[in-house]
Chains A and B, each alone.
Chain A
Amino acid sequence: MGAYVAKRLLAAIPVLFGLSIIVFVIMALIPGDPALAILGSFATPENVAKLNQDLGLDKPMVQQYFIWLGNMLQGDFGRSYTLNRPVIDEVLERFSATLILAGPALVLCSIFGLLAGVISAVKQYSWADKGLTFTVLIGISMPSFWLGLLLIFSFAVKWRLFPPSGMYAIYGGGDLPDLIHHLTLPAITLAVVATGVIARLTRTSMLEVLRQDYIRTARAKGIKERRVIYVHAFKAAMVSVIPVIGIQAGFVLGGAVYIETVFQWPGIGSMLVKAISTRDLLLVQGGVLVVAAAYVLFNLLVDVIQSILDPRLR
């Protein structure tokens, strides 16, 4: 087990390395002179040359990359020029807000997705199955940002059950009930699509597993049908569902970009959108790198859980 975790950890290193190369290349794609982009069109040529030198942009690309990577590894992500503070501080602060939103959303979509998928498979072709399958299809066809607006319009504006935006109340908020109150609508919105994807996959893999020889063996042993389905089949189906939950974590993190904008949640998604429109590229770069790295590490965790479940992988 320990050896397996170590192996996965080692395997994650080249992936993280690759991520950094991709981000570096994308940033190098930026048309025009970055120094000019930062300083604006009224910059003097001397200023541009000086900034280029300061940024190390006069050196060859490969050398630039390693200097850049070295800085990153020391936690130096540069300084945001719009916020005038270190990128890393802003990114970590914003990312923790995103995790507060994305974590519960991931839990919600896992629970409801598995539940809907299992019910659908067990009651295959029943009205419950047809209803769930259709609801799931609606869920994955709906633009999440639009669903967010609908929820705000009905639950926040019309019925005033939940606040329309923000993470805490401006006056007298800040405690856990206040946070949950603010979290409910955005977390549900964020979970909808992933719930649908997980439900679909759970249904298919349950149906596939229920046709396997070892399910016939379980039945031939005379154990209760409930145990056949909820222990034998479910455990085997989880083997293909768990990696998808890992992938969905990526969609939930990405979907947070929309949901945070709609609900004005102070997370990393809304930060990125703002940073892109103000061309604060160091902030974009730092944000993307941190989220992508976190996603890689999360998938590492998923792999480990998977290997606990499936002894063949160890």
Chain B
Amino acid sequence: MSETTIETPTKKKKSGGRPSTLRLLLNNTLATAGLVVLAFVFVVALAAPLLPLVNPDVTEPANRLQPLFADGHLLGTDALGRDILSRLIWGTRVSLAVGVSATLIAAFIGSLIGLVAGYAGGRTDNLLMRGIDMIMAFPYILLALAIVAALGPGLLNALYAIAVVNIPFFARNIRGITVGLSRREFVDAARLSGKSNASILFGEILPNVLPVIIITMSTTIGWMILETAGLSFLGLGAQPPQADLGSMLGDGRKILFTAPHVSIIPGVMIFILVMSINLLGDGVRDVLDPRLKSGALARPVMRTAVMRDQVPDIAPQEDATLDMQGLKTEFHVGSDVYKAVGGVDLKVRQGECLGLVGESGSGKSVTAMSIMGLVPTPPGRIVGGAALLEGEDLFSKSDEEIRLLRGLAVSHVFQDPLSTLHPLFTIGDQLVEAIRAHQVISHKDAMARAEELLKTVRIPNPAERLKVYPHELSGGMRQRVCIAMALANDVKLIIADEPTTALDVTVQAQVLSLLNKLRQERNVGILFITHDFGVVSTMCDRIAVMYGGKIVETGTTEEILSSPAHPYTEKLIACVPVLGEPDRRLDAIEGRPPVVNALPDGCAFAERCPYAKDDCRKGDLALTDLGEGRTVRCLYPVSGDKAKQGECDV
């Protein structure tokens, strides 16, 4: 490990993050407004000694309680005849100074505790964090009160008290991040290179933790200004003649009925200050917290948006359960358009299993999820093509019609059964719900039906299993439950999106043979999505291979496995280990799948294809018919024999 590798993570952040951060922040109108107001208040407060203001502490009993806009006193005077405007600006100065100092103290001590606890781990971590928990066990302001009670009222003591009670927020946030970072490679590398713990902590980890410290500061500083003002309001902070906004408010309270402006004005100032800080803080958090970037938190609606320029006219075919033609699905993120699916045709006949095969990112899942509108919108949208279910175009149907078909005519089995089952409902409840969504049936009968379903998928003790929660089952059992759920009604098509990828190999085989058996018994069509040719060979009648959002080859399973025509298919098959052939070399396909917002001209696979020629990179390639239901999208299809001979190195 050299120095350069160690430095990369920190450097990347600096060069990549900085310029765009401010720009992103300024794109947010509210945050900009907050920034402008806050900057104005700061400048005025800092310039207070230079401004032509009356001395804030000079009393003038003859001029007491002047109203707003009085002569020489723009905001009037208080009970002792002091100029409110002058006191307001000087008070803001004090409040800001106290709030900012308290934040810095809390951030410094809290971050230090968090860094040390997270980095040291073990007993140090335990001891420090238990102490932090103790502080957090107090109702926030109560602990501050106890500290002020012990130290005695006064602005400085209030500052300390507020800083102390805010330490836990920093300690906990920073510790969480530090624990994660301490296990990263660049920290190991620094350790191996002989750096001291202190220099790793402050040289390597701190720069990466800084954004979190800033986020925490921006979310707590407004709060701290409020709380110090509060203590002063109660008479426990600033003591006369010194005044901050809180104590001004507290003084004015006594004459609220006769001269409300004396207390209302400092309150408005606190409010403006805190509001602008919060607006800015929210903006900063949105920019620095990657989770919230690019509308990642946008709520997906119930069905994928369909925005087709024209509705293709397709003649319904007798034997097809599903007939999809020219499907185009895109993701619109900001100004980028990701063409995940670029014109896909698929056909699943009654009782047939069609395997849709490809690497991650080839668009196979998006194709499958488009059928019943389960691609999240935003950002997804279907922009072209049609999907005919028994002759009727699904994309032309209303949301309610689609809802009624989901689970009744077409059901889904998803990849990870732990995340796809609701963690807070029992298996029984979830099965009953699937049944009663489409059948008018009593809860009791539905329960009996659910038990039968569990029996169908060969789950032992079905009656007891109805009462358990998903996390109490093994992965294989959970996936059986998902299959049972897919069979809850008399479906015609099951869309299985990598249903065995998350399972152990032995469990995989059981689940596959179960699906196969059910398909034959019930004559259900299956659209089976996978990246695994081993699985394909045991399950599927026909195969469609996808690459870069397009189908590159179709045919029967035997034909494709024995003589793949597309170089990509050939490569995929070569990656599957075969029992009894220990000499076979297993190679990953070199390179990566294309990025779908910048698809190349011509064949998308040309970049990685060993046989690619110049004309492969021009124009749109058509799917050519090889006869007997076989098609391939390639100018130079390979003869089928090479793959069998185990020639899979490039």
A220 at the interface (CB under 8 A from B): yes
Mark each residue of chain B from 234 to 250: 1 if its CB lies under 8 Å from any CB of chain A, else 0.
11100000000010010
A225 at the interface (CB under 8 A from B): yes
B406–A26 contact, CB under 8 A? no
A310-B423, A312-B471 given; A221·B406 CB < 8 A: yes
Mark each residue of chain B from 119 to 140: 1 if its CB lies under 8 Å from any CB of chain A, else 0.
0000000000011011101111
A146-B271, A257-B145 given; A220·B412 CB < 8 A: yes
Total interface residues on A, CB under 8 Å, equals: 81
B414–A217 contact, CB under 8 A? yes
B420–A214 contact, CB under 8 A? yes
Report the minimal beta-carbon distance from B39 to chain A, rounded to whole angstroms.
17
Cα(A31)–Cα(B140), bound, Å:
23
A149–B263 contact, CB under 8 A? yes
A22-B138, A124-B299, A276-B148 given; A239·B407 CB < 8 A: no
A288–B142 contact, CB under 8 A? yes
Candidates B137, B256, B282; contact of A15 at CB < 8 Å = B137
Interface of chain B: mostly helix, strand, loop or mixed: helix
Chain A residues whose C-beta falls within 8 Å of the C-beta of B152 in the assembled complex:
31
Total interface residues on B, CB under 8 Å, equals: 82
A23–B437 contact, CB under 8 A? no
Mark each residue of chain B from 405 to 442: 1 if its CB lies under 8 Å from any CB of chain A, else 0.
11110011010100111111100000001100110000
Cα(A29)–Cα(B148), bound, Å:
11
A81 at the interface (CB under 8 A from B): no
Cα(A212)–Cα(B404), bound, Å:
22
B139–A222 contact, CB under 8 A? no
B96 at the interface (CB under 8 A from A): no
B149 at the interface (CB under 8 A from A): yes
B406–A220 contact, CB under 8 A? yes
Chain A residues whose C-beta falls within 8 Å of the C-beta of B246 in the assembled complex:
143
Within 8 A of B (CB), among A128-171: 137-138, 140-146, 149-150, 152-153, 157
Report the minimal beta-carbon distance from A12 to chain B, rounded to whole angstroms.
9
A138–B469 contact, CB under 8 A? no
A152-B256, A311-B424 given; A22·B411 CB < 8 A: no
Chain B residues whose C-beta falls within 8 Å of the C-beta of A125 in the assembled complex:
298
B473 at the interface (CB under 8 A from A): no
B402 to A, closest residue via Cβ:
A222
B422 to A, closest residue via Cβ:
A214
A22-B138, A141-B274, A141-B275 given; A236·B406 CB < 8 A: no
A232–B422 contact, CB under 8 A? yes
A12 to B, closest residue via Cβ:
B137
Candidates A121, A239, A311; contact of B469 at CB < 8 Å = A311
Q: A210-B299, A262-B253, A311-B423 are in contact. List 4 more A-B contacts (CB 8 A).
A: A125-B298, A137-B278, A213-B419, A292-B143
- Which B residues lie at the A interface, using CB under 8 A? 130-131, 133-135, 137-143, 145-153, 222, 226, 229-230, 233-236, 246, 249, 253, 256-257, 260, 263-264, 267, 270-271, 274-275, 277-279, 282, 297-300, 302-303, 372, 374, 376, 403-408, 411-412, 414, 416, 419-425, 433-434, 437-438, 469, 471-472, 482, 485, 488
Of all A-B residue pairs in the complex, the 5 with the closest CB atoms, nearest first, are: A146-B267, A254-B141, A222-B407, A222-B406, A250-B139
Interface CB pairs A-B, < 8 A, 7:
A15-B133, A27-B150, A137-B275, A145-B249, A257-B230, A272-B149, A292-B143
